[in-house]
Structure 1
């Protein structure tokens, strides 16, 4: 059984390294829109967009065009930046939950399922 790659680069004859289309398998609007937003904040990016070829296909086509930077490097940076943003949101949320529980329930309080 051949292992299916999660990321493909669509190769064409007339494109250089500043303009690439990537196919991300197993992804949808959740990653597509978030990643597009993060990548468009990069001043080296001229265009970034994505599409879902068909509702029954579980993949997105992700296009990046730059002002001279390598599109693959821009994708890597975008994924890293999105990971750090999600990590920050998760840590902030967990801190908020822990602070709420500390304020609401004294240390000697036994919590039940009705309390959460």
Structure 2
């Protein structure tokens, strides 16, 4: 079991299977839902090493998301790690772009 850290909360992550097949895994993210699941699926879906990736939120009253990965080659945990890193990079890029545009807008508005 490992933990993914964010500034607002800590989400617990666990594998749901005890299978020795490293190519096929389902992970459970507590305190996560469609926001992370959809972004992660979108980022990971174009990887040719991944045969399938998808997520479910079992029930709205449960604060957890199941994320399934099936690989053609490589380990599912490595694909998950890369996918999470890519989502973080994408978010960092969007925040930087937004901040730069807001600064530019503010500077141009004050000059009028």
Aligned residues: 103
Are 1:55 and 2:55 matched, yes or no? no
Maintained 8 Å contact 2:11/2:31: no
| Structure 2 CA distance for partners of 1:65 and 1:24, relative to 1, 3 Å | same
Where structure 1 has 5 or more consecutive residues not aligned to the other structure, the ranges are: 110-116
Counterpart position of 1:114: none
Of Structure 1 and Structure 2, which has the larger fraction of its residues in strand? 2
Q: Is the 8 A contact 2:11 2:32 kept in 1?
A: no
Spell out structure 1 runs of 4+ moving beyond 2 A: none
Q: Is 2:104 aligned against 1:99? A: yes
Matches within 5 A, 1:1-116: 6-13=12-19, 16-106=21-111
Q: Over aligned residue pairs, what C-alpha RMSD do you find?
A: 1.6
Q: What is the TM-score of this pair, normalised by structure 2?
A: 0.86
Asked whether the equivalents of residues 32 and 64 of structure 2 are also in contact (C-alpha less than 8 Å), the reply is yes
Q: TM-score, normalised by structure 1?
A: 0.83
